[in-house]
């Protein structure tokens, strides 16, 4: 069974490396993607990586994932975590393993960031470990995908 995983980076994550480095660190999105690809290769998994600042595009990616033969989705919904019922509903409806990740600990930040609309419909959420949150999330997905 091919381990085909969709990675979705939400809004403003294209600015990593320069955006609030005290919160998000100095690694760029390209570097995080490289780290994910190295880990995926070790487990014979294929990643398709997308970044979008547009809610509807993210909803479309999630909605088409099963048809496109993905086994799981690793998503950092970024600011949409706290605001997007549409992304929440897409995750709930997609029928795939979904792991939500965040670079920062959303519970130690501004109060409006404390609630995730995505967490209740995801298989799990990993947050607060910097870029390693992505690697931990991918490891969880690789463990959850049935080995057949």
Active site positions, annotated: 24, 102
Length of the chain: 148
Contact indicator for 9, 29 with CB cutoff of 8 Å: yes
Phi, psi angles (nearest 5°) of residue 83: -130, -20
Task: Find out whether 118 and 144 touch, Cβ atoms under 8 Å.
Answer: no
Structure tokens at 147: 């080995």
Q: Where are any strands of DSSP class E within 43-84?
A: 45-51, 72-76
Phi, psi angles (nearest 5°) of residue 77: -75, -5
Q: What CA–CA distance (Å, rounded) separates 50 from 57?
A: 10
């Amino acid at each position: 069974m091919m381990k085909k995983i969709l990675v979705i980076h939400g809004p403003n994550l294209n600015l990593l490396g320069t955006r609030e480095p005290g919160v998000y660190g100095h690694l760029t999105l390209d570097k995080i993607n490289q780290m994910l690809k190295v880990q995926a290769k070790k487990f014979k998994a294929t990643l398709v990586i997308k970044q979008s600042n547009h809610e509807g595009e993210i909803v479309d990616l999630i909605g088409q994932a099963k048809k496109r033969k993905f086994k799981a989705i690793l998503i950092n919904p970024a600011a949409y975590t706290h605001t997007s019922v549409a992304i929440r509903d897409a995750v709930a409806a997609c029928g795939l393993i979904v792991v939500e990740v965040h670079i920062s600990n959303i519970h130690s930040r501004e109060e409006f960031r404390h609630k995730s609309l995505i967490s209740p419909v995801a298989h799990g959420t990993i947050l607060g470990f910097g870029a390693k949150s992505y690697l931990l999330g991918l490891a969880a997905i690789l463990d959850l995908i049935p080995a057949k």
